[in-house]
């Protein structure tokens, strides 16, 4: 049995960020301003704070303006929506990202619905989800967009491939399936009610696992030569002597390398692509709003 190539999402993402940063000066020269991303965080969820911090750093490193809004946990939903409406109207803001999850007293859907779809760089607004579904130009959620880039880089033409997406969330699974369908794959979407998942996965040339269950996909589920994209981020319980448990994906990596042609590691696979694609979507939004053709 051969050993899989490891898909280096970290360096792919770094190269994408480099290309984005390189095209920002031209945008500034043409439009007279920097592209701008506003990130809104409500409450003090530690994981969300880390994500927001990394997004800010990456935005500034790409030469874009970063506008950060940190609101207290008990902010009223109406006040958050007023802020979103102000950002919709602000000419310096090209992209708006409201960090999810919101506190329990808020309705994520109502807040996302308040976003101007032209600034919805996360691609969560129903207008963007609908455009993706009917094959129109849309902002596509960053994680599945990053997965597609890695797949196309590895495989080239995806036409006719059997793809199995495990997970059907609006953020990852469903848009991933839409993207693969648009690439002419034969797509199966699996979820918690799918029967005989191992058999379903065995038919796949492409497997995208977006479940949130540590090492659920076993090596012997994977057809020899399949390409595996592992979106899952799961922290194991600490082993004796460790303070923090290891991060693992939804795929049993050590087993999967013996079966697959190529696989993304966790960490260092899909994760870094998410922020790079957020910058890409922001740059695209900036070009569209300025009436300019976007570079990629």
Active site residues: 55, 99, 122
Q: For residue 251, count CB atoms less than 10 angstroms from its CB and return exposed for 0-12, middle for 13-18, buried for 19 or more.
A: buried
**What kind and span of H or E run contains 96?**
strand 95-98
246 part of the interface to ligand NDP, by CB under 6 A: no
> Residue 117 or residue 175: which is nearer to ligand NDP going by CB?
175
> Residue 70 or residue 191: which is nearer to ligand NDP going by CB?
191
Give how many residues touch ligand NDP by CB under 6 A. 25
Site for ligand NDP (CB under 6 A): which residue of 143, 178, 260, 281? 143
213 part of the interface to ligand NDP, by CB under 6 A: yes
Site for ligand NDP (CB under 6 A): which residue of 233, 247, 258, 290? 233
Half-sphere exposure of 236 (CA within 13 A, CB side): 15
User: Considering only CA atoms, which of 169, 170, 166, 225 is closest in space to residue 194?
Assistant: 166
Please report how close the Cβ of residue 187 comes to ligand NDP at its closest, in angstroms.
15
Stretch that binds ligand NDP, among 53-61, 100-108, 193-201, 285-293 (CB under 6 A): 193-201
Half-sphere exposure of 183 (CA within 13 A, CB side): 23
User: Considering only CA atoms, which of 67, 175, 84 is closest in space to residue 123?
Assistant: 175
147 part of the interface to ligand NDP, by CB under 6 A: no
Sequence-distant (≥ 6) Cβ neighbours of residue 79 within 8 angstroms: 71
172 part of the interface to ligand NDP, by CB under 6 A: yes
Binding mask 267-286 for ligand NDP (x = CB under 6 A): ---xx--x------------
Rounded CA-CA distance 13/285 in Å is: 19
166 part of the interface to ligand NDP, by CB under 6 A: yes
Half-sphere exposure of 227 (CA within 13 A, CB side): 16
> Residue 86 or residue 191: which is nearer to ligand NDP going by CB?
191
97 part of the interface to ligand NDP, by CB under 6 A: no
Chain centre distance of CA 61: 19
Site for ligand NDP (CB under 6 A): which residue of 232, 253, 260, 263? 232
Site for ligand NDP (CB under 6 A): which residue of 164, 231, 257, 284? 231
Rounded CA-CA distance 227/4 in Å is: 9
Phi, psi of 221, rounded to the nearest 5 degrees: -85, -15
192 part of the interface to ligand NDP, by CB under 6 A: yes
191 part of the interface to ligand NDP, by CB under 6 A: yes
Tokens of 229: 């994209």
> Residue 274 or residue 282: which is nearer to ligand NDP going by CB?
274
Q: What angle do CA 263, 264, 266 make, to 5 degrees?
A: 130
Please report how close the Cβ of residue 214 comes to ligand NDP at its closest, in angstroms.
9
Using CB under 6 A, list all residues that contact ligand NDP.
143, 166-169, 171-173, 190-194, 197, 210-213, 231-234, 270-271, 274
């Amino acid at each position: 049995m051969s050993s899989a190539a490891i898909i280096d999402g970290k360096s792919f993402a770094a190269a994408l960020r480099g290309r984005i940063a390189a095209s920002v000066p031209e945008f500034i020269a043409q439009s007279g301003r920097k592209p701008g991303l506003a990130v809104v965080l409500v409450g003090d969820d530690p994981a969300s704070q880390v994500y927001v911090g990394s997004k800010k750093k990456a935005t500034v490193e790409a030469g874009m303006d970063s506008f950060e809004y940190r609101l207290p946990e008990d902010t009223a939903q109406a006040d958050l929506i007023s802020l979103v409406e102000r950002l919709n109207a602000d000419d310096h803001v090209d992209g708006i990202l409201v960090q999810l999850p919101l506190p329990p007293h808020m309705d994520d859907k109502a807040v996302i619905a308040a976003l101007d779809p032209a600034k919805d760089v996360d691609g969560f607004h129903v207008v963007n989800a609908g455009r993706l579904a009917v094959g129109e130009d849309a902002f596509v959620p960053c994680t599945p967009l990053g997965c597609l880039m890695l797949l196309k880089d590895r495989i080239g033409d995806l036409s006719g491939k059997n793809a199995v997406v495990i997970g059907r969330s609006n953020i990852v699974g469903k848009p991933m399936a839409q993207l693969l369908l648009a690439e002419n794959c034969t797509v199966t979407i699996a979820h918690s009610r799918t029967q005989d998942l191992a058999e379903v996965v065995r038919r796949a040339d492409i497997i995208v696992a977006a479940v949130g269950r540590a090492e659920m996909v076993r090596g012997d589920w994977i057809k020899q030569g399949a390409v595996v994209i592992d979106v899952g981020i799961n922290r194991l319980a600490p082993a004796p002597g460790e303070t923090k448990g290891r991060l693992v994906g939804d795929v049993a990596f050590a087993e999967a390398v013996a079966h697959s042609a190529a696989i993304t590691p966790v960490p260092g696979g899909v994760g870094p692509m998410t922020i790079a694609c957020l910058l890409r979507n922001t740059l695209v939004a900036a070009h569209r709003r300025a009436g300019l053709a976007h570079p990629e």
